[in-house]
Amino acid sequence: MSENSVTEIEVTETEVVVGDFFTAETYSPYGVIKAVNAVLKALEIEKVLPGPMGYTYCKKGYIATVPGSNAKLVTRAAAIEWTEKYLGKLAAKQTMQAEIVEEVTEAPEADLHEVL
């Protein structure tokens, strides 16, 4: 995805341009998570990632880092790429949970009593 791509979370139907939240050329892992939390807030998603998780994600290779930075420097492009992947997974999870709730809500009462 490009740095100016639009990420849409179907659950909230709010659009944001992820690249607008990343204005510097490089970030610390903590800074990446801080920007991701700003994106989540803009999307009206009540989820806050703890800042120190950025370091864990970088050490494990989930977020690509600048070679030779000891996993402590992330480029703008890498930050945007990871954020868009994260938002995609989050949207899929929320959509799946909404579908499960909808299926349970629509289940006939007779079937529910048989299970109980």
Kindly report, residue by residue over 47-86, the tens digit of the pLDDT.
999 999 999 999 999 999 999 999 999 999 999 999 999 9
pLDDT at 16: 85
Per-residue pLDDT tens for 5-54?
Answer: 545 444 446 688 999 999 999 999 999 999 999 999 999 888 999 999 99
Domain extents in the chain: 6-115
For 8, half-sphere exposure in the C-beta direction (CA atoms, 13 angstrom radius) is 4
Count of CB atoms within 10 A of residue 114's CB? Answer: 8
Residue 97: the pLDDT is: 64
- Could you tell me what percent of the chain has a pLDDT over 70? 71
